Chains A and B, each alone.
Chain A
Amino acid sequence: MKQVKVLGTGCAKCKALVEMVRQAADAGGIAIELEKVEDMARIVGFGVMSTPGLVIDGKVVHAGGLPDAAKVAAWLQQG
């Protein structure tokens, strides 16, 4: 089970990223535990400066804007 966190305070792109991750996981048949982190102190704790950010198994893989759907799928496949 992969621990996936989407960091973001609730802007449109943050919601879009949650959706994107969910779809990529479904399409790839990958079991994930998805959490949306909205608490500012925690977001900042990851060292992310632009939202939305994406954290997989404790590692920040993306920050700022929406990534490519293909990249999201690749990150989920890894490790």
Chain B
Amino acid sequence: MSNLPVTMGTPHRELRWAAGIVLAAAIWWGLYANLTAFADFAIAQLGLTRASALGEAVHFFLFDTPKVLLLLCSIVFVMGVIQTFFAPERTRALLAGRRLGIGNVLAATLGIVTPFCSCSAVPLFIGFLSAGIPLGVTFSFLIAAPMINEVALALLFGMFGWKVAGLYLGLGLLVAIVSGLVIGRLKMERHLEDWVQAIQAGTAPGYEGTAQTWVERAETGLNHVRDIVARVWPYIIAGIALGAGIHGYVPEDFMASFMGRDVWWAVPAAVVLGVPMYTNAAGIIPVVEALIGKGAALGTVLAFMMSVIALSAPEMIILRKALKPPLIACFVGVVACGILLVGYIFNAVL
């Protein structure tokens, strides 16, 4: 063991935390490795077999629920700790003075690691603009932040492997970057609400971060887990239950007829259908998994998922306080086109 310099906090607490994390990881691994055994055992106890539709549905539910919850807890904890390094004020300082182009790339990337809640979308939006960050760059951030979140990535990784998670990450970034660039080029500044235009353009106050100890960061991570899991578990259970129903009862290849890759109109239909719908990644991914199992094309289903998460009615209503309708329409239109492209690319590649 090397001697790390400890700035603040008592070494005793740090040790306890380190031991706790190692222990939790060991338990986590033990549980995760035995998920199939658990589900097999549980349905046998219930007197069901996987040969029946009900047995298959119950097995899916009993296997997926603990799996998703385990993945969620671990990734959300890690992201919670990472996010302590990227307060919105720091992200703003990093973005101030960037031009279109490189600024969009940076903004979309920072959107992944900066803590973001749609209820703070407007103050954040204004905060960015008032620091002189261009509108297009601000939008790249605002599109990436909800769409490419840790919950979505964790679940995609768990259910489809790193290739799909990686593609989602890459293409999601691309949508955010390109949409921001387009919005920037369109010179939409006059479609900001008047009070926003009035306070626009100034300089960013310098970022004074408060130094945090690792114990504080770990505590933040744990709080993040409590927060997120408490908020999303009903969606997850509902999503998995729906997924289990589809898995057990919908005939094989049923979805292929209208969500397959040969159906050209399936992607636009999925995007249009997704806009008014709103749930979070945790609720939608189990459904996605079940649909794919029945022959739906991955691109079509992911386009649906992106559209549900990235374009939501509640966020539009919040943004309406700062944006005039033409700018909101432009935002929805540009992002929807981006998602459409992603859907077609996914279908073509995989």
Binding site for B on A (CB under 8 A): 8-11, 14, 40-41, 43-45, 47-51, 63-65
Of all chain A residues, which has the CB nearest B227? Answer: A65
Q: How far is the CA of A22 from the CA of B177 in the complex (A)?
A: 44
8 new A-B contacts, CB < 8 A, other than A41-B195, A47-B205, A50-B124, are A8-B119, A44-B126, A44-B130, A47-B127, A49-B88, A50-B115, A51-B119, A64-B87
Complex: A41 Cα to B126 Cα, angstroms:
9
With a cutoff of 8 Å between Cβ atoms, the chain A residues found around residue B128 in the complex are: 49
In the bound complex, how far is the Cα of B322 from the Cα of A11, in angstroms? 18
B199: contacting residue among A44, A49, A64, CB under 8 A? A44
Are B117 and A44 touching (Cβ within 8 A)?
Answer: no
Q: Which residues of B contact A43 (CB under 8 A)?
A: 123
A40 touches B205 (CB 8 A): no
Cα A63 to Cα B89 in complex, Å, equals 10
Which residues of chain B come closer than 8 Å to A49, judged between CB atoms? 88-89, 92, 120, 123-124, 127-128
* Per-position binary interface string of chain B over residues 132-163, scored 1 when its CB falls under 8 Å from any chain A CB and 0 otherwise: 00000000000000000000000000000000
B225: min CB distance to chain A, Å: 14
A50 engages B195 (CB within 8 Å): no
**Chain B residues in the interface with A (C-beta under 8 A):** 87-89, 92, 115, 117, 119-120, 122-124, 126-128, 130, 195, 199, 205, 223, 318, 321-322
| B130 proximity list for chain A (CB < 8 A) | 44
- Bound-state CA distance A48–B128 (Å) is 11
Asked if residues B126 and A64 are in contact (CB atoms below 8 Å), the reply is no
Chain A residue with minimal CB distance to B127?
A: A49
- The residue on B at minimum CB distance from A12 is B119
Chain A residues with CB below 8 A from B318, complex form? 9
Minimum C-beta distance from A11 to chain B (A): 4
Whether B195 lies near A64 (C-beta < 8 A) is no
Which residues of B have CB within 8 Å of A47? 127, 205
Across-interface contacts of B195 in A (CB, < 8 A) = 41
Contacts of B199 in A (CB 8 A): 41, 44-45
Residue from the list B115, B117, B123, B223 in contact with A48, Cβ < 8 A: B123
Closest chain A residue, CB of each to CB of B118: A11
Chain A residues whose C-beta falls within 8 Å of the C-beta of B127 in the assembled complex: 44, 47-49
Query: Whole-angstrom distance from the CB of B90 to the nearest CB of chain A?
Result: 10
Residue numbers in B under 8 Å from A51 (CB-CB): 119-120, 123
Q: Which residues of A contact B321 (CB under 8 A)?
A: 40
Q: Which residues of A contact B123 (CB under 8 A)?
A: 40, 43-44, 48-51
- Is the pair A11, B119 in contact by a Cβ cutoff of 8 Å? yes
Instruction: Collect the chain B residues with CB atoms within 8 Å of residue A14's CB.
Output: 119
A19 to B322, CA, bound (A): 28
- A sample of 25 cross-chain residue pairs with beta-carbon separation below 8 angstroms, ordered by A number, consists of A9-B119, A9-B122, A11-B119, A14-B119, A40-B122, A40-B126, A41-B195, A43-B123, A44-B122, A44-B123, A44-B126, A44-B127, A44-B130, A44-B199, A45-B199, A47-B127, A48-B127, A49-B89, A49-B92, A49-B124, A49-B127, A49-B128, A50-B117, A63-B89, A65-B223
